[in-house]
Chain A
C-alpha cells in the first residue's frame, strides 16, 4: 500500500543516499518532519496498534487508559462483553477526561462541563442543553448523536487487543501476515491469560531503535553477557528468522543450547565469561512447556507498536509509545496462563528479573539505544551500516548472523513514506 501520494513534498529530499536499506541515514532518528509522517502513516493509519490484553479488563465497565502514538485512548469492556476503544478526548473542548490508568465505569463523565458518554462512546447527555429558565442552551440543531467520542476499529485476538484509527485498515490476520500468524497464535491460542503486572521505562532514543533492537539477532550474544554466559542465546543455536512480505513485522525463533565454550562463537567474543556461575539457579530455572513445540524463545516485532516476548518461561508484551523523535515510553505487561501452577507463576516472576528496566538482559538494550541517540543526533548527515548478511531488503533466514530484518523494516519505511 503506497501512501506517499497524499504527502506534501518534504522540505528536504529523501535522506537515503542510495536505493537499498543497508545504510540508514541518521536523520530518521532525529528529524521532526519525518517523525510527524511516521505518526500519521504508521500509528494513525493503515496499521493495527497494540492497546491491551483482555485480562486487564475482565469485567463490564473495566477500562484501561493507554496511548496509540501520542494520542490518548481508552480501552473499555462494554456491557455485552465486547471491547471498545475510544479517544480519550472530550468532544466538547478536547479535555483528556479520563485521568485514571485503570478503573471501572458505568459512564464516562468529563469533569470540565460534565458531558457524559456511554461505554461505546455515545454522548448520553449534556448539562444545560435546553437552557436555564428559558435562557441559553444549545441550539435546536445540536444533536447528541453527532457529538459522541471518536471510536476506533478494534480486533480482539485470543486475549490480545489491537486497535486502529483507520476505518479502512486491512483485516488483522492479513496485517500480521500468513507467514507470521502460526507463531503469533502459538502464544495467543485462545487460552485464558492472567495478568502479572507492569514495568515502565522512559528511553531517550528514537522509537524505531527499539523495533530495530528486536529485529537484530546480531547483538544478544555480544551485548548481553548474561545471555551468552548462561547459554540462553548464542550465534550457533538452532534458529530461524521470519518476516512478513512487506518487511515490517518479524519473528526471531530460537532454541537454546547448553552453553559453555564453543570455539567458533565464543572465541574473540569478549563478553563470554566461562568462570561465572549462578549462586542460586532458580533465577534460570527453565521448565519446558508443551505449547512451545520446540523453540525456547520467540521474539516478535509487530510494527509499529509492540514487541511480543516469549523467552523461556517469561512472557510479556512491550508497548512502544513515542514522545517525539528522541524519546519513547516502553511499557512491559507480563502475563501467564490461567492454568499455570503456582510454581509456574513463581518461575515466571523470577525469570522476570531478566526483563524490564532492571532486566539482566534488557537493561543493556535501553542503555545502548540511548548511546545511539546521543551520537546520531550530533551527526545528522551520518549513516548507519546495516550489512551483516548482505544488502537484501529483508528475507526469511535459517540463521541469526544477519541484519536482514532491519533492512526489511526500512524497505517498508521508505516505500510507505515515499522516501
Chain B
C-alpha cells in the first residue's frame, strides 16, 4: 500500500460524493466494509453510537436509496476537502477532512471537519476501503447530515 494509492482512493472518494455519484462511492468499499460517520465525542469515549452506521454494500445501497427516493431535504452541494493520508502500519491510514456544504441560496458552511480512520485492502480492482470511520470533531451538525461524510 503506497501513499499514492491512498491519495488516489481519497481523490476518487471525494469526487464521487461531490458529484453525487453514490454508486461510485459505494464501489470504493469492499463488499463487507463498515462505514461510519461518528461524532468525535463518541469515538474518544468509546461509545459505539454513530450518526450513520452501514455494515456492508447492502446497507450502503439502502442509504443511497433513501437519499435518492425517500428523504426530504433542501437541495445542497457538498465539497470534500481531503488532506494527505498518514499511513499507519501496513493497512491503516488517518486522513484529515473538511466538508463544506452549500444549501441552495444560503452561504457555504462547514458541515463537518475531522479525520477518516481507515482500514485499506488491496483488491484486484485496486485499493479499497475495508472500513472507514469518518470521525467528525464538531459534535454539532448544522441541522442535517444527508450524504455520507
Contacts and interface: CB of A to CB of B under 8 A. Distances in A.
Q: Which of B59, B63, B70 has the most CB of A within 10 A?
A: B70
B129 interface: no
Given A273-B69, A358-B52, A197 B47 contact: yes
Contacts of A229: 70
A371 B103 CA distance: 13
Interface stretch (B17-25, B113-121, B140-148): B140-148
A200 B49 contact: no
B28 interface: no
What DSSP secondary structure best describes chain A's contact surface? mixed
Contacts of A226: 66, 70-71
A198 B41 contact: yes
Interface string A336-358: 00000000010001101100111
Given A280-B59, A280-B62, A360-B70, A352 B49 contact: yes
Nearest to B41: A198
A223 B72 contact: yes
A236 interface: no
Contacts of A334: 49
B58 interface: yes
B144 A366 contact: yes
Given A280-B62, A349-B49, A360-B70, A200 B39 contact: yes
B140 A350 contact: no
Contacts of B73: 363-364, 367
What DSSP secondary structure best describes chain B's contact surface? mixed
A196 interface: yes
A31 interface: no
Given A201-B144, A357-B143, A363-B146, A225 B70 contact: yes
Q: Which of A199, A200, A202, A364 has the most CB of B within 10 A?
A: A199
A102 B48 CA distance: 17
A212 interface: no
B107 interface: no
Contacts of B9: none
Interface string B45-67: 10111111111111101110110
14 contacts: A195-B47, A197-B41, A199-B49, A200-B139, A202-B142, A229-B70, A273-B70, A279-B61, A280-B55, A283-B59, A349-B48, A358-B145, A367-B144, A368-B72
**Closest CB pairs A-B (n = 7):** A197-B49, A280-B58, A197-B47, A225-B70, A358-B145, A197-B42, A357-B141
